[in-house]
Amino acid sequence: MKVAIGKITEQGLKLDEKIPAALLNLDGFDLKFVDYLTVEAVFNKIYSEITSKVDIRAHCQITCSRCLIEVGQIKKYGFQKSYQLNKLGDFLDINDQIREEILLNFSLKVLCSPDCQGLCPCCGRNLNWGECNCLKSGN
Ligand SMILES: [Zn+2]
Ligand SMILES: [Zn+2]
């Protein structure tokens, strides 16, 4: 998302934009971003500062680290940042901040759901689909 500094006033400037996920090059090993990131941003000019408040919604395809199933998830990110007006050129490009924010919030383990039961260590059955006989027999 790139905004012309001249358009940001004391009254604020609200923008929303869809950014192709591929453009930000974010894919991790077990987490892939698909389609678009929806970015909503509010910019304000306060004296010699530009402030930004940014909300991001992303569609991801994750591979659960417990049960190894692939599921789609929506992830939300947000940040606020201010910039010194005299250090900015004619445009403010926040794509780097968006990318940084998402990478900072990468979790080591991605789960299909917080209470994922994982796989049975004996037979490999996905326990989210029900118990297997190994557990019932007490082994
Ligand atoms: Zn899982
Ligand atoms: Zn089992």
Instruction: Give me the sign of the Cα torsion angle 105, 109, 110, 115.
Output: negative
| Ion ligand 1 contact residues with beta carbon within 5 A | 64, 66-67, 112, 116
- Identify the nearest ligand to the CA of 117 by its number: 1
Ligand 1 centre from 40 Cα, in Å? 30
- pLDDT of the residue at 58: 94
Is 84 within 8 Å of 51 (Cβ atoms)?
Answer: no
Ligand 2 centre from 129 Cα, in Å? 12
| Ion ligand 2 contact residues with beta carbon within 5 A | 120, 122-123, 125, 132, 134
- pLDDT of the residue at 28: 79
pLDDT by residue for the chain (139 residues), tens only, comes to 999 999 999 999 999 999 999 988 888 778 899 999 999 999 999 999 999 999 999 999 999 999 999 999 999 999 999 999 999 999 999 999 999 999 888 877 889 999 999 999 999 999 999 999 885 655 4
- pLDDT of the residue at 13: 97
SS3 135: helix
